[in-house]
Amino acid sequence: MKKTMKKLLCAVLAAATLGTCSMGVSAEESYLLGDVNKDGVVDADDSGVILIEYLRVMIGNPAAFSEEEFALADVDKNNRLDATDSGVVLQYYAYALMSDTPITLEEYLAYTHTLSEEEQIGLLKETHEYAKPILGDSEDMKNEWYEQYEEKWGF
Ligand SMILES: [Ca+2]
Ligand SMILES: [Ca+2]
């Protein structure tokens, strides 16, 4: 009986490992900074995923992100995951929607670092105005995340 259980456990573990392995293969392709859910785009979903992980950890849960996911999520590279990372991803997403030419998150960060604080605020306002109709949908999405979060973690 014990042996059967062991075999079963091994099979389950093997299946789990295989799953991880096949994930590992695609993980070798490098993901875009900020693409935490690894769907090939950096958007409001990633921002939400980062926010949820941050809140989860903040109320004392162990981190759910893998090392790789953490590296993708820590967009300001300060080795901490917080609402700033989530905010930067959302700002970038809105900016990318507004921009005529494709821009990566790294390029966006490099660009905003060249701006004065005043210019940054101006850019944020402009981006926000532009993206408001689109981010309106994200607002609903965010509410959905919060609801799911509340259900899952009672917070
Ligand atoms: Ca994504
Ligand atoms: Ca960070």
Q: For residue 50, give both structure tokens.
A: 């980062």
Q: Domain ranges for the chain, please list them.
A: 1-30, 31-153
155 Cα to the center of ligand 2, angstroms: 23
Top-confidence residue, 38 or 138: 38
Q: Which amino acid, residue 151?
A: E
Report the alpha-carbon distance of residue 36 to residue 43 in Å, rounded. Answer: 10
Report the alpha-carbon distance of residue 6 to residue 124 in Å, rounded. Answer: 57
144 Cα to the center of ligand 1, angstroms: 17
Instruction: Write down the CATH number for the domain with range 31-153.
Output: 1.10.1330
pLDDT above 80 for 146 = no
Question: What percent of the chain stands above pLDDT 70?
Answer: 67
Instruction: Give the tens place of pLDDT for each residue, 29-75.
Output: 689 999 999 999 999 999 999 999 999 999 999 999 999 999 999 99
Distances (CA, A) of 26 to 21, 40, 46: 9, 11, 18
Q: Write down the pLDDT at residue 138.
A: 57
Ligand with the closest atom to the CA of 69: 1
Q: What is the pTM of this model?
A: 0.69
Q: Write down the pLDDT at residue 128.
A: 82
Report the alpha-carbon distance of residue 64 to residue 83 in Å, rounded. Answer: 16
